[in-house]
């Protein structure tokens, strides 16, 4: 979080800017695992904090995480918040609240890296914008934004990320639906539209 905050401040020139969260996205090119172990490893990557415990001394956290990882790889790892979006024989993909992971088994038939990155950047930038508006409301401030980024902008952006395109393939649709379902952005965007409609300058 500290690194992300410093990066944002250096890019924007705003010393008050902060990172609200970090979402992990992993594109896996190679893996030492196969079968069930591979599937488990990718599930763990979608929720990496499952390896950490609050009360472990930072000096021992890596060693402890390695022990937890070995146990999970041996016993398997399931979580209700993980949504799969791969296609058997072509790809393995998982999305969760914490992150997204994708492994192209058949590289020429799977999604392109660009597809995942483009979708994640669109969704996460809108999520961050909505979160910014919510934080203003929680501090008793009526959001005021430039007209081009008002409720009509958010409504249009919501339509672009939520609705399938005519030439969109099944893999892309599954990825988009999994990411939207796990980040809960649609309710955030609905609230942002309502907030901006009610605010001055929205």
Contact present, 28 and 102 (Cβ < 8 Å)? yes
Q: What is the end-to-end Cα distance of the chain in Å, rounded? A: 31
Domain ranges (residues) in the chain: 1-110, 111-202
- The 10s digit of each residue's pLDDT in 41-88 is 999 999 988 988 887 777 778 888 899 999 999 999 999 999 999 999
> What is the value of pTM for the model shown?
0.87
Closest CA to 88 of 162, 136, 133, 35: 35
Can you say how many angstroms the Cα of residue 114 is from the centroid of all Cα atoms in its chain? 15
- The 10s digit of each residue's pLDDT in 97-123 is 999 999 999 989 999 999 999 999 999
- The 10s digit of each residue's pLDDT in 109-163 is 999 999 999 999 999 999 989 988 988 889 898 888 888 999 999 999 999 999 8
Can you say how many angstroms the Cα of residue 68 is from the centroid of all Cα atoms in its chain? 24
């Amino acid at each position: 979080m500290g690194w992300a905050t410093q990066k944002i401040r250096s890019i924007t020139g705003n010393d008050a800017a902060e990172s609200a969260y970090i979402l992990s996205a992993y594109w896996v090119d190679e893996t030492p695992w196969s079968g069930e172990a591979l599937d488990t490893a990718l599930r763990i990557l979608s929720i990496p904090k499952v390896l950490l415990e609050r009360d472990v001394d930072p000096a021992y956290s890596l060693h402890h995480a390695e022990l937890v990882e070995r146990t999970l790889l041996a016993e398997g790892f399931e979580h209700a918040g993980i949504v799969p979006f791969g296609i058997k024989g072509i790809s393995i993909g998982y999305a969760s609240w914490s992150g997204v992971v994708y492994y192209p088994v058949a590289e020429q038939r799977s999604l392109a890296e660009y597809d995942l990155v483009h979708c994640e950047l669109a969704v996460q930038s809108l999520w961050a914008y909505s979160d910014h508006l919510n934080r203003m409301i929680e501090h008793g401030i009526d959001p005021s934004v430039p007209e081009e980024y008002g409720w009509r902008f958010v409504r249009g952006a919501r339509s672009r990320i939520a609705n399938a395109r005519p030439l969109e393939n099944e893999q892309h649709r599954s990825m988009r639906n999994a990411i939207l379902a796990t980040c809960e952005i649609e309710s955030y965007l609905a609230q942002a539209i309502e907030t901006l409609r009610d605010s001055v300058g929205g």
